[in-house]
A and B are shown apart, each in its own frame.
Chain A
Amino acid sequence: MPTATRRRAGVRRAVRRSGAPLLLLLPSLILVGVFVYGLIVANARQSATDNHTAAQATGQAPTTGVGLRNYLDLLGSEEFQHSLTNLVLYTVVFLVGTMIIGFAWAWLLDKPLRGEGIFRSIYLFPMAVSFIASGVVWRWLLNSNQDEQASGLNRLFQMIGLDALQNNWWNNVSVGIVAIAIPAIWQLSGYVMALFLAGFRGIPVELREAARVDGASEWKLYRHVLFPQLSPIALSALIIIGHMSLKAFDLIMSISKPANYQTKVPAVDMYVFKSAFDYANAAAVGTILLVIVAVVIVPYLVHTHRQGKS
Chain B
Amino acid sequence: MVAAAAAAMALALAACGGGGDEPEGGGSGSGGADEVEVFTWWAAGSEKAGLDALVGVFDEQHPDVTFVNGAVAGGAGSQAKDLLQTRLQAQDPPDTFQAHAGAELQDYIDAAQIEPVTDLYDEFGLTDAFPPDLVDRLTASDGEIYSIPSNIHRANVVWSNPQVLKDNGIDPAATYADLDAWMADLDKLEAAGVTPLAVAQAWTQVHLLETVLLADLGAEGYSGLWDGSTDWEGPEVTAALQDFEKLMAYTNTDRDGLDWPESQQLVIDGNAAFTVMGDWAEASYAEQGLELGTDYDAAPVPGTDGVFDFLADSFTLPVGAPHPDGAQAWLETVGSTEGQEAFNKAKGSIPARTDVDTASFGEYQQSAAESFQADTIVSSLAHGAAVPVATSTAITDATSKFTSGASDLAAFQSELAAAAAG
Contacts and interface: CB of A to CB of B under 8 A. Distances in A.
Q: Which interface class (under 10, 10 to 19, 20 to 34, 35 or more) fits A?
A: 35 or more
Contacts, number: 118
B107 A54 contact: yes
A154 to B, nearest CB: 10
Interface in B77-116: 78, 81-82, 85, 88-89, 107-108, 110-113
A171 B256 contact: yes
A171 B254 CA distance: 8
B400 A259 contact: yes
B193 A145 contact: no
Interface stretch (B24-32, B276-284, B341-349, B388-396): B388-396
B408 to A, nearest CB: 12
Given A57-B89, A79-B397, A173-B405, A262 B111 contact: no
Interface string B108-140: 101111000000000000000000000000000
Interface in B237-277: 252-254, 256-257, 271
A54 B82 contact: no
A145 B252 CA distance: 8
A144 B393 contact: no
Interface in A192-223: none
B336 to A, nearest CB: 31
Contact of B401 (A255, A257, A261): A261
Given A25-B2, A58-B112, A275-B82, A261 B253 contact: no
A54 B396 contact: no
A276 B254 CA distance: 27
A173 B5 CA distance: 48
Nearest to A257: B201
A145 B255 CA distance: 9
A31 interface: yes
Given A259-B397, A260-B201, A60 B256 contact: no
Contact of B201 (A31, A54, A259, A276): A259
Grouping DSSP codes into helix (H, G, I), strand (E, B) and loop, the B interface class, with mixed when no group exceeds half, is helix
Contacts of A257: 201-202, 256-257
A113 interface: no
Contacts of B394: 276
A27 interface: yes
Contact of B89 (A24, A58, A82): A58
Contacts of A173: 404-406
A24 B389 contact: no
Interface in A21-78: 23-25, 27-28, 30-31, 52-55, 57-58, 60-61
Contacts of B111: 54-55, 57-58, 60, 277
Contact of A149 (B89, B201, B203, B252): B252
Contact of A260 (B81, B193, B256): B256
Contacts of B202: 257, 259-260
A261 B393 CA distance: 12
Given A262-B256, A277-B107, A79 B401 contact: yes
B43 to A, nearest CB: 18
Given A146-B253, A276-B390, A54 B110 contact: yes
B195 interface: yes
A53 B109 CA distance: 12
A144 B397 contact: no
Identify which of A171, A256, A277 gathers the most chain B CB atoms within 10 Å of its CB: A277
Interface string B185-201: 00000000101000001
B15 interface: no
A82 B2 contact: no
3 nearest A-B pairs in the assembled complex, by CB-CB distance = A27-B6, A55-B110, A54-B107
19 contacts: A27-B9, A28-B3, A28-B6, A55-B111, A79-B401, A149-B252, A171-B254, A171-B257, A259-B201, A260-B256, A260-B400, A261-B400, A261-B404, A272-B393, A275-B82, A276-B389, A276-B390, A276-B394, A277-B107
